[in-house]
Each structure stands twice: as structure tokens, then as C-alpha cells.
Amino acid sequence: MASRSATIASGHGLHARPAALFVQAVNDSGLSITIEKEGREAPAGSILGVISLAINQGDVVTLTADGDNVDSVLDSLVSFLETDHDAE
């Protein structure tokens, strides 16, 4: 298992558009990834799971996964989370 932490940059956190883009990126990776905030976990490939964590700007989340290319996938997802997608 590999894990990475990320600080959420999007101004509105992982809600609506940024959450949908994140979930799509997770599902495109083909890996089973978990996202955790303050001890609460959810499948990162589930829009309802991600939104249920109420992840806001500045929150720190941890992504955990296992599988092929896990390091590059997690690095890419961390980069995504640490980019402000509300400003685009």
C-alpha cells in the first residue's frame, strides 16, 4: 500500500466540479483508491463518498492505494488536489 497527503487548493473544496473531475481521474486510473479526512474514509472513485467527507479548501486528505503504477497515479492525484480548479 502507498499513500500520499494533499492540501486542498480549490476555493470551494472538493464540491461539484472539482469533485467530479477528481472522481473521474481516480476511475480513469483503474486503481481502488481511498480518500481520508480526519479519520473518515471513503472510496475516492465515488462522487457521493467524496462529497460526504465535506472537504474544504485547506483541508489535508490522505489518498491510499495499491497496484501497478501506484506511485505515479497518487502523485498525479495529489497534484490535481493541490491545484485550484475553481479559478479555471
Q: Nearest CA to 22 among 62, 50, 55?
A: 50
Taking each helix axis from N to C end, the angle separating 70-81 and 16-29, rounded to the nearest 10 degrees, works out to 170
Q: Which of 2, 15, 59, 78 is catalytic?
A: 15
Annotated catalytic residue 15: yes
Chain position carrying cell 481502488: 32
| CA angle, 40 then 62 then 29, to 5° | 110
Catalytic residues: 15
